[in-house]
Amino acid sequence: MVAPKVLKELIAAGSVSAARVEPGDKGLLIVVRAGMNERVLGAARGGLRYFQSLDGAASVLQGYGIMKFDVNTEHWVPKTMVRGYKQAPASVDADE
């Protein structure tokens, strides 16, 4: 886990080479690669920082100056889909 303040320092030092958004137990997580290590963004007061929307995660990444990142939403269902549909659609691989 990486604290927000430490992440800012890593970015300023040019140590962050990649970022991605992926599902976690309670929502979406931001994972950054710093050197050879991958770290999950933590909350300011401890614990992991979870996001309930891609928009929220993207906004935070852009706030850190990270404009390009990967997204994996496998096994994550947006709240709008939960309200509007009984189940998520079948997975579609964008690389096909």
User: pLDDT tens digit string along 60-75?
Assistant: 999 999 999 999 999 8
- Confidence band (pLDDT; 50, 70, 90) for 42? very high
pTM here? 0.83
Give the C-alpha separation, 4 to 57, whole Å: 13
Q: What's the pLDDT at 33?
A: 98
> Which residue has tokens 């050197």?
35
Q: What percent of the chain has pLDDT over 90?
A: 77
Give the C-alpha separation, 87 to 16, whole Å: 36
Q: What's the pLDDT at 12?
A: 97
Mean pLDDT for the chain? 89
Domain coordinates in residue numbering, the chain: 4-84
